Amino acid sequence: MTSSEDQLDRSYRALLKLPSIARLLAGMQLARIAQSMVAITIVLFALTAYNSTTLAGIVTFFSIFPGLLVSPIAGALLDRHGRTRLVTLDYLIALIALILIGALALCGVLPAWLLIVIAGVASLTAPLSNTGLRSLFPIIIPTHLWERVNAVDSTGYVAAVIVGPPLAASMFALWGGPVTFIIIGVTYGLATLVIAGTPDPQTATVSTGRIATDAWQSLIYTWRNRSLRGLGFCISTLNLANGAFTIIVPILVLHQLHYQKTVVGLVVAVQGLTGVISAFVYGRHDTRDRERMMLALPMFATGITIALLLVKSNLVTLLLVMGITGALNGPIDIALFTLRQRRTDPGWTGRAFAVSMAFNYSGVPFGSAIAGVLASQSTGPAIAFCVVTSLISGLLALLMIPARKQD
């Protein structure tokens, strides 16, 4: 690092002084709180209204997976047609879908198949917001502040986990699932108002002028990029465990430990709280050439920690596991975000980020669906599944991710 780089202001204050950053982060945070509320509300609604762990896994799967399939097209659109406008489009679709689910449920005319269909259709635009703002950060933020914005990004996500699930579970207990869905939809509407009209800088984009061709080329680019390919395999494997936990935690709390719905949200919030602290700590350090170990070691530790639930499944152990795994998410998130930014050509950020993020996140819907089936009889097999996939993810990080960019 040169002396001029040492003199750069790397503080969080310097980050928030950049034009439009505070507004973008605020809108993204509102949407993330809504997203974390949706995840827990869908599971609670399936478990209580339909009394089915399998349906909880299936609905969660369809609320995510269709959007992952169209992510290359979403990335091509983001690179060509402006990110903030497409982000607000997704927020509006979420608003409509959630209010529709709530209204139909209130009227008693929401069969399980229709819930799955609405969730699947709404997921199709999700890559626009999931990728849009995150791919905008490397363009509008100087490189010396990347660790800072990634820490805020990661912290915002886990802060949403602190606020969203307890809030959703409490509203669910007080007013029921339908009203909770409607309130979450309104939250997406507020996020739309905050972000709408935010400037979207022009970038030099490598494009053929054809959406389908650009989408295909984004798949090729991401696959040939060794770093993005390695991230895809290890993070998607880790996310099998994360997806499974969205089903396992409510089942453990409600069916096995026999606590109230509000406890589900509080247990999830513990993971978010430790994640916030961890993200801020690791966001203060330069991660260059250390990303691979920052991924692999916490992944191994996550598997070992989850294994505690196989020994003793009580509330104290569950809280301990959630707290430790939340802290381990901090270095994983910082390393993931920064590595992807450093090793992606700026002209490919929209498309490559869309494909990379979809690849990474693909484990979540599959993990949820698998856990819904495994946990229908006992949570033990589902927990063991999380342990194995976490350990495998650490091994994949060591084997597949190049230690340095020139590799």
22-56 per-position pLDDT tens digit: 888 888 889 999 999 998 999 999 999 998 889 99
Overall average pLDDT of the 325-352 stretch: 84
Per-domain boundaries in the chain: 20-197+208-400
Q: In angstroms, rounded to a whole number, what is the distance separating the alpha carbons of residues 320 and 364?
A: 22
Nearest CA among 391, 404, 396, 397 for reference residue 343: 404
At 65 the pLDDT is 92
At 109 the pLDDT is 96
At 93 the pLDDT is 96
Overall average pLDDT of the 269-292 stretch: 80
Confidence class for position 1, pLDDT limits 50, 70, 90? very low
Nearest CA among 208, 224, 220, 216 for reference residue 72: 216
Asked if 390 and 245 count as a contact pair (C-beta separation under 8 A), the reply is: no
Q: In angstroms, rounded to a whole number, what is the distance separating the alpha carbons of residues 77 and 79?
A: 6
At 98 the pLDDT is 97
At 81 the pLDDT is 61
Report for 10-14, 18-22, 127-131, 388-392: range of highest mean pLDDT: 388-392
Q: In angstroms, rounded to a whole number, what is the distance separating the alpha carbons of residues 39 and 18?
A: 32
Confidence class for position 143, pLDDT limits 50, 70, 90? confident
Judge whether residue 272 has pLDDT over 90.
no
| 81 compared with 289, residue with greater pLDDT | 289
The 10 Å CB-count burial string (b at 16+, else e) for 198-216 is bebeebebebeeeeeebbb
User: What digits encode the pLDDT tens for the residues 29-38?
Assistant: 899 999 999 9
At 313 the pLDDT is 84
| 159 compared with 205, residue with greater pLDDT | 159
How many CB atoms lie under 10 A from the CB of residue 107? 9
Q: Going by C-beta distance under 8 Å and a sequence separation of 6 or more, which residues neighbour residue 267? A: 249, 253, 315, 318, 319, 322
At 203 the pLDDT is 60
Q: What percent of the chain has pLDDT over 70?
A: 92
Q: What percent of the chain has pLDDT over 90?
A: 51
Confidence class for position 394, pLDDT limits 50, 70, 90? very high
Judge whether residue 407 has pLDDT over 60.
no
Fold exhibited by the domain 20-197+208-400: Growth Hormone; Chain: A; (1.20.1250)
The distance from CA 395 to its chain's CA centroid, rounded to whole angstroms, is 22
User: What digits encode the pLDDT tens for the residues 250-266?
Assistant: 999 998 898 988 899 89
Q: In angstroms, rounded to a whole number, what is the distance separating the alpha carbons of residues 325 and 390?
A: 11
The first and second tokens of residue 145, run together, are 């502040």
Query: What is the rounded average pLDDT for all residues in the chain?
Result: 87
Confidence class for position 118, pLDDT limits 50, 70, 90? very high
Overall average pLDDT of the 381-393 stretch: 96
| 15 compared with 298, residue with greater pLDDT | 298
At 281 the pLDDT is 78
Confidence class for position 279, pLDDT limits 50, 70, 90? confident
Stated pTM of the model: 0.77
Confidence class for position 97, pLDDT limits 50, 70, 90? very high
Confidence class for position 73, pLDDT limits 50, 70, 90? confident
Burial of 148 (0-12, 13-18, 19+ CB in 10 A): buried
Whose tokens are 């994983």? That residue is 332
At 202 the pLDDT is 62
Overall average pLDDT of the 359-375 stretch: 92
Q: What is the DSSP letter of 406?
A: T
Q: In angstroms, rounded to a whole number, what is the distance separating the alpha carbons of residues 306 and 303?
A: 5
Judge whether residue 3 has pLDDT over 50.
no
- Residue 130: which H helix or E strand, with range? helix 126-140
User: What digits encode the pLDDT tens for the residues 202-227?
Assistant: 665 555 567 778 788 888 999 999 99
Give the ranges where 209-314 is alpha helix by DSSP (H): 211-224, 226-251, 261-282, 291-306, 308-311
At 346 the pLDDT is 73
Asked if 340 and 332 count as a contact pair (C-beta separation under 8 A), the reply is: no
Q: In angstroms, rounded to a whole number, what is the distance separating the alpha carbons of residues 3 and 230?
A: 33
The 10 Å CB-count burial string (b at 16+, else e) for 59-78 is bbbbbbbbbbebbbbbbbbb
